């Protein structure tokens, strides 16, 4: 997020769920960083991703580097997901002014609520009758959990239980409850175990309940582990499919590049004895710490200077530039800063238009930034329809967009949808109000998210009885 320069003026129009900021004027000078601080809660829950924001008064915009649990993360926002094994986390953020090289650090100690995450029973899928077989219950827990086992009405305590099936039944359902002694929170895990005779072959079953275990969000440029699991006898083999690639094994490490906002993971569990299989999928959101940002708050215009900065990149990384998916070509009107973090256009040409990304690389890890569409053209919008309407009569409102570049169009409503009969077809709304002496605000928005431009128009409509219009 770009911090506005001091003394700049802003026009802010608040809509449902969002605010659109239109910069009117900005000063250009170098300062900071001052007042570096970390913004976020004082405590977090284990196993739950929580965002923290690093901020500093800085012109031009600072780059931010986080340090936590021995790891380094780039970007203004860092998502912290504690495992539940510690009671606190130390966060450190360094704000760096790319022009002056000056920096400022901020630290924050975050408490981890007593938690309980990911209970699992570890052990074989089968147990031989009249022979001992050990099973272990495990959980990410702070402070350490106590474990209670349950099997056929009998209970036992401790992280490990030893079973000696009698052979009277062909299967057993083993249940473990992990209890956090501080919070009283508990989670259960169950495991179905096939009982076999020592002289017989392994019973064939499954796969059942195929599932992917792992976080809902992964950071670009960082490895994140996922596990595929299924109830299966004999043990299943697992095949992963992602981004057109195939990987074998129960576990896989995914390192998103940042080129997309989400990943689709697919795992196939195959029983090698029966040939039966089961598939499961999981959509993982990708958090990208590197973003391409314009240095100026003014829209790009032909013949004018313009600059793009690779914000959030590691200062020691090697940076490549891409245009429309290919290596960017430098012409006579373009130049790169010494560290290649900024590309400058002395005078914009029609040929400069396109979709730009930066790709910082360090230590074998490469992140592809969020992109910026460099385009020329204006966006404007208006809403047609009456300012005063009568209860019980149909009225028509239309969003009239003028987009010199590609744009999307949508309606938003302050305070909820209009009361009465309401229908919407593309840019046209038909409305028959049913409550007099009320007002309704219709807001139409046109935007191009890649070019980071938008325009908004709101119309406030008063609802009256027909008698109120009589002279």
pLDDT band of residue 6 (cuts 50, 70, 90) is: very low
CATH tag for 116-203 (out of 2.60.40.10, 3.40.190.10, 3.30.499.10, 3.30.450.20): 2.60.40.10
| DSSP 3-state of 161 | strand
What does the pLDDT read at residue 199?
Answer: 58
| Assigned token pair, 191 | 């495991």
pLDDT digits (tens, 9 = 90+) for 409-450: 999 887 778 888 988 888 899 999 999 999 999 999 998 888
* Residue 366: pLDDT over 50: yes
Picking from 368, 436, 437, 375, the residue whose alpha carbon sits closest to that of residue 403 is 375
Question: Does the domain at residues 208-287 carry the CATH identifier 3.40.50.1110?
Answer: no
The reported pLDDT for the residue numbered 145 is 87
More confident residue, 25 or 206: 206
- Give ranges for CATH 2.60.40.10 in the chain: 9-112, 116-203, 208-287, 291-374, 379-469
Answer yes or no: are the C-beta atoms of 177 and 188 closer than 8 Å. yes
pLDDT of residue 359: 94
- For range 214-239, the mean pLDDT: 90
For the stretch 156-184, pLDDT in tens is 999 999 998 887 778 889 999 998 887 78
Looking at the domain that runs over 291-374, which CATH code has it been given?
A: 2.60.40.10
- pLDDT in the model for residue 12: 29
Tell me the fold of 379-469: Immunoglobulin-like (2.60.40)
Q: How far is CA 318 from CA 361, 364, 379, in A?
A: 5, 11, 36
Tracing tokens 């070019």 back to the chain, one arrives at 451
Q: Please, what CATH class does the domain formed by 9-112 belong to? A: mainly beta
pLDDT at 24: 31
d(CA 371, CA 389): 44
Instruction: Please state, in angstroms and as integers, the Cα–Cα distance from residue 303 to each residue in 345, 346, 350, 375, following that order.
Output: 9, 8, 9, 13
**Contacts (Cβ under 8 Å, ≥6 apart) of 202:** 126, 194, 196, 233, 234, 273
């Amino acid at each position: 997020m770009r911090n506005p320069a001091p003394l700049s003026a802003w026009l802010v129009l608040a809509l449902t769920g969002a605010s659109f900021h239109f910069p009117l004027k900005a000063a250009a000078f170098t300062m900071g960083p001052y007042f570096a601080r970390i913004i976020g809660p004082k405590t977090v829950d284990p196993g739950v991703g929580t965002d923290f924001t690093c901020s500093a008064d800085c012109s031009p915009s600072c780059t931010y580097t986080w340090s936590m649990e021995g790891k380094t993360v780039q970007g203004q926002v860092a998502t912290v997901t504690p495992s539940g094994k510690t009671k606190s986390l130390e966060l450190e953020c360094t704000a760096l002014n790319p022009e002056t090289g000056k920096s400022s650090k901020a630290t924050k100690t975050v408490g981890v609520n007593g938690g309980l995450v990911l209970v699992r029973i570890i052990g074989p899928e089968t147990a031989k009758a009249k022979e001992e077989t050990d099973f272990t219950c495990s959980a990410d827990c702070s402070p350490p959990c106590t474990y209670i086992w349950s099997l056929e009405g009998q209970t036992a305590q401790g992280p490990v239980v030893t079973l000696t099936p009698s052979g009277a039944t062909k299967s057993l359902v083993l249940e473990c409850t992990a209890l956090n002694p501080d919070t009283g929170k508990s989670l259960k895990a169950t495991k179905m175990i096939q009982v076999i005779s020592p002289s017989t072959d392994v019973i064939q079953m499954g796969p059942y309940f195929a599932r992917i275990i792992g976080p809902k969000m992964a950071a670009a440029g960082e490895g994140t582990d996922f596990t595929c699991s299924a109830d299966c006898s004999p043990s299943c083999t697992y095949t992963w499919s992602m981004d057109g690639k195939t990987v074998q094994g129960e576990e896989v490490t995914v390192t998103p590049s940042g080129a997309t906002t989400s990943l689709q993971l697919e795992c196939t569990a195959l029983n090698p004895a029966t040939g039966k299989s089961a598939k499961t999928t999981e959509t993982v959101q990708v958090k990208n710490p590197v973003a391409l940002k314009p240095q100026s708050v003014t829209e790009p215009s032909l013949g004018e200077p313009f600059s793009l900065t690779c914000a959030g990149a590691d200062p020691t990384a090697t940076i490549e530039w891409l245009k429309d998916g290919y290596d960017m070509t430098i012409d006579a009107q373009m130049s790169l800063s010494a560290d290649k973090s900024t590309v400058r256009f002395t005078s914009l040409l029609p040929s400069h238009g396109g979709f730009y990304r930066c790709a910082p690389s360090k230590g074998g890890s490469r992140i592809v930034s969020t992109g910026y569409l460099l385009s020329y053209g204006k966006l404007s919008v208006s809403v047609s329809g009456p300012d005063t309407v009568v209860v019980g009569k149909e009225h028509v409102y239309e969003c009239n967009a003028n987009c010199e570049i590609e744009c999307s169009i949508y309606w938003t409503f302050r305070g909820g949808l209009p009361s009465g009969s309401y229908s919407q077809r593309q840019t046209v709304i038909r409305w028959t109000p049913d409550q007099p002496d009320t007002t309704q605000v219709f807001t139409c928005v046109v935007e191009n998210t890649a070019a980071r431009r938008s325009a908004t128009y709101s119309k406030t409509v008063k609802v009256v009885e027909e008698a109120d219009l009589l002279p």
